A and B are shown apart, each in its own frame.
Chain A
Amino acid sequence: MNDDFENHLRSQPMREVPPHWRSRILSAAQTEPRRPRWLEWLWPAPQAWAVLGAAWVLILAFYLATPDDPASGRSYAMTAESYGALEREQLMMAKLLGSSDEGEAPAAVPVAPKPRSERECKQLAG
C-alpha cells in the first residue's frame, strides 16, 4: 500500500507553466541592470555598510566641527618658546623655598618594623 500509494501520487502530473510567463519573466529580468561588482561585494549586508559609513562621516564631521582648545594650543606654543625661562623660574622658586625650609624639616621618626614584615624578612634571609 505504502509504495503503491506514493507511486500513485508521484504519477500525478503537475500543471505546466503558463506559456506567456516566459517572455514576461525573462524580459523583466533582462531589463534589470546588472549590479556592479563593487556593489556585489557589499551585498551581504548593504544596510550594515551604510550605517558604518554614516557613523564614520558623523565622527569626522564632529571632529572637524569641534573647535581646538585655545589654552592647550598656547601651552604647546609656550613650551617651545619659553621653556628655558620657565625652567629658570622654577629653579629660583626651588632655591627660595629650599632656603626658607632649611632647618625646619622635622626629624625622621624611626618606625619599628611590624612583626609580620620582620617575620617575612627572616624567612627570606633564612
Chain B
Amino acid sequence: MASAPDIERLYDNHAFALFAFLLNLLRHEADVQDVMQEIFVKLTKRPSLLADVRDERGFLLRLGHNLAIDLMRRRGTRERNYEELALQSSALFAESGDPDEQTFRQKLAQALAELPAEQRSVVHLKLWENMTFEAIADALEISPNTAASRYRYGIDKLRERLRPIYDEIQ
C-alpha cells in the first residue's frame, strides 16, 4: 500500500499531529526528529504495516508512542532534570503576539511537562487530537477507563497549576 508517493501523503497528512504529540511527550526536538524518521523508514520498509489499518492517524500515533517510550527507556529521558524540560517546553506551542497568551502558553507547556508521560499523552490526544477515550485507549494500548481517569487526573493538575494565570486573562 505505502509506495513512495504514499509516504509523502502520509507525511503531509500526519506529520503535524505526530510532531506535536511526540514533542509534548519527549520534549526534545532531536529525539522527535529521530522518532519521526524511524516511523517513516519503518513504513517504507514494511508497507504491509498499513495494509489493514482503518485509522491511519491512530495507527501512526500508536507507532510514535511506542517508539518514543522505547527511546525514553533507552536514553533515560525520564531522568532529565526539570530545568532542561522547562526550557525546552517553551517551544511546544506557536508563539503568540499577545503577551498574556504567550505567558499562558509557556506556563501551560511547563505544567504539561510536570505531568507524568502517561497522563500527558492522554491529555494531548484528547485536547489537541480531539480523540475519544476509546480511540486513545486503542492508540496507547490501555483500557478506555484508564484513559479517562488519566485524563481527569491530568486536567485537574493543569487546572490547579494554571488557575491563577487563567483567571487573570479571562
Interface membership of B135, Cβ < 8 A: no
Task: Digitize A21-42: 1 where CB-to-B-CB distance is under 8 Å, 0 elsewhere.
Answer: 1101110111011110000100
Given A14-B93, A15-B93, A16-B16, A29 and B166 contact (CB-CB distance below 8 Å): no
Q: How far is the CA of A35 from the CA of B49 in the complex (A)?
A: 12
A34 touches B44 (CB 8 A): yes
Interface membership of A12, Cβ < 8 A: yes
Q: Name the interface residues of A20-74: CB closer than 8 Å to any CB of B.
A: 21-22, 24-26, 28-30, 32-35, 40, 43
Interface membership of A13, Cβ < 8 A: yes
A residues in contact with B78, CB < 8 Å: none
Given A6-B155, A10-B127, A15-B92, A25 and B44 contact (CB-CB distance below 8 Å): no
Q: How many residues of A are in contact with the other chain, CB < 8 A?
A: 28
A30 touches B4 (CB 8 A): yes
Q: Say how far A16's CB is from chain B's closest CB, in angstroms.
A: 7
Contact-residue size bin, chain B (C-beta under 8 Å from the other chain):
35 or more
Interface membership of A122, Cβ < 8 A: no
Q: Say how far B164's CB is from chain A's closest CB, in angstroms.
A: 13
B46 touches A43 (CB 8 A): yes
Q: How many pairs, one residue from A and one from B, have CB atoms within 8 Å of each other in the complex?
A: 86
Q: Name the interface residues of B64-81: CB closer than 8 Å to any CB of A.
A: none
Given A14-B92, A32-B45, A33-B45, A25 and B19 contact (CB-CB distance below 8 Å): no
Q: How far is the CA of A72 from the CA of B51 in the complex (A)?
A: 58
Interface membership of A17, Cβ < 8 A: yes
Given A15-B91, A16-B16, A26-B11, A40 and B37 contact (CB-CB distance below 8 Å): no
B residues in contact with A18, CB < 8 Å: 29
Q: Say how far A111's CB is from chain B's closest CB, in angstroms.
A: 74
Task: Digitize B86-108: 1 where CB-to-A-CB distance is under 8 Å, 0 elsewhere.
Answer: 00000111100000000011001
B residues in contact with A9, CB < 8 Å: 108, 127, 158
Given A5-B159, A22-B11, A16 and B94 contact (CB-CB distance below 8 Å): yes
Q: Say how far A27's CB is from chain B's closest CB, in angstroms.
A: 10
Task: Digitize A67-106: 1 where CB-to-B-CB distance is under 8 Å, 0 elsewhere.
Answer: 0000000000000000000000000000000000000000
List 19 other contacts, CB 8 Å, given A13-B93, A21-B15, A29-B43: A1-B159, A4-B170, A5-B162, A6-B127, A10-B128, A13-B94, A14-B19, A14-B128, A15-B23, A16-B16, A17-B15, A17-B19, A21-B19, A25-B37, A26-B11, A29-B37, A29-B44, A35-B45, A35-B46
Residues of A within 8 A of B (CB): 1, 4-6, 8-10, 12-18, 21-22, 24-26, 28-30, 32-35, 40, 43
Q: List 9 A-B contacts (CB under 8 A).
A: A4-B170, A8-B166, A14-B19, A14-B128, A17-B19, A24-B33, A30-B44, A33-B45, A40-B48
